[in-house]
């Protein structure tokens, strides 16, 4: 009962022609939670919180656009005659594209506002992990991005998923794996906050953990085109961030 109860409600509420989708709601809550966490991160780093609003808006817009563009590029052969419908639908968001799109727009805003890149990204690192947890919960409620066929006790079906699972078939809820991992990363970053004091260190630590988590989860996700590419991108992100973190942490301080 519990396994099917949540996945039966990708649409939370309908009022006339307007429908509130659980995925959209969780994304909105994710940006709100990330904004609140970033606010406290800014204060702890001594940054001006007045610039935070525009930074969050830019990151949200860039993240959604980047993730959608990446999704469309990965699935050009499956779009058929409806590319515009796919472009403006709520489904089809890829984490890597979202990360790049959000980062690019954030860097543009930081440059315009003359904010220090490393310090701002360090302040926002825990917030990014927290927001990602909400986003993945939205994927779970929408029945999207689930895992491979499984008979594990916690495996479940997504009869109204994207795509729906066949009757009687259960899969691994990889969305929940990522929710748990993102929450764990959030608390690990809070633990590392007073220990990684140099600019860029905390953000690099986030990329190491997020890339590693994504690399591992890709092995049990439902196989789609571009799966190997996704795995390699995750591994490359984690390795590059780890090298950068070691270099930043061990280099002599400037005097």
Nearest to 245 by CA among 215, 213, 217, 209: 209
What does the pLDDT read at residue 74?
67
* CA 203 vs CA 121, 174, 248: distances in Å: 6, 24, 11
Instruction: Please write the tens of the pLDDT for every residue from 50-79.
Output: 889 889 898 888 888 887 787 777 666 655
pLDDT at position 116 over 60: yes
The dihedral formed by the CA atoms of 229, 150, 157 and 25, expressed in degrees to the nearest 10: -40
Among the listed ranges 36-45, 138-147, 231-240, which one has the minimum average pLDDT value?
138-147
With cut-offs at 50, 70 and 90, classify the pLDDT of residue 161: confident
Average pLDDT over residues 112-139: 94
Percent of the chain's residues with pLDDT above 70: 84
Q: How many residues does the chain have?
A: 255
Average pLDDT over residues 117-129: 96
Q: What is the pTM of this model?
A: 0.87
With cut-offs at 50, 70 and 90, classify the pLDDT of residue 181: very high
Q: Are 159 and 165 in contact (CB under 8 A)?
A: yes
- Give the three-state DSSP class for 119: helix
Instruction: Please write the tens of the pLDDT for every residue from 228-253.
Output: 778 898 999 999 999 999 999 998 87
Q: Are 213 and 181 in contact (CB under 8 A)?
A: yes
What does the pLDDT read at residue 30?
92
What does the pLDDT read at residue 5?
45
Average pLDDT, the chain: 85
Average pLDDT over residues 165-181: 93
Among the listed ranges 75-84, 165-174, 206-215, 218-227, which one has the minimum average pLDDT value?
75-84
What does the pLDDT read at residue 88?
47
């Amino acid at each position: 009962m519990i396994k099917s109860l949540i996945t039966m409600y990708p649409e939370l509420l309908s009022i006339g022609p307007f429908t509130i989708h659980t995925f959209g709601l969780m994304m909105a809550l994710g940006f709100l939670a990330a904004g609140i966490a970033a606010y406290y991160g800014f204060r702890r780093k001594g940054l001006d919180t007045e610039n935070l609003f525009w930074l969050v808006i830019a990151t949200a817009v860039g993240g959604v656009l980047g993730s959608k563009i990446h999704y469309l590029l990965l699935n050009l052969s499956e779009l058929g005659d409806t590319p515009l419908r796919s472009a403006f639908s709520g489904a089809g968001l890829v984490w890597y594209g979202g990360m790049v799109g959000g980062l690019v727009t954030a860097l543009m805003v930081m440059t315009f506002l003359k904010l220090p890149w490393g310090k701002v990204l360090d302040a926002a690192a825990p917030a990014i992990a927290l927001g990602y947890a909400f986003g993945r919960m939205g994927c779970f409620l929408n029945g999207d991005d689930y895992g491979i066929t499984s008979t594990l006790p916690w495996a479940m079906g997504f009869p109204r998923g994207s795509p729906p699972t066949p009757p009687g078939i259960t899969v691994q809820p990889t969305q929940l794996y990522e929710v748990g991992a993102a929450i764990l990363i959030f608390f690990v970053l809070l633990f590392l906050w007073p220990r990684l004091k140099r600019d860029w260190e905390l953000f690099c630590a986030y990329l190491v953990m997020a890339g590693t988590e994504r690399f591992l989860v890709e092995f049990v996700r439902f196989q789609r085109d571009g799966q190997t590419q996704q795995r390699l991108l995750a591994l490359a992100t984690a390795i590059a961030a780890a090298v950068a973190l070691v270099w930043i942490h061990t280099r002599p301080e400037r005097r």
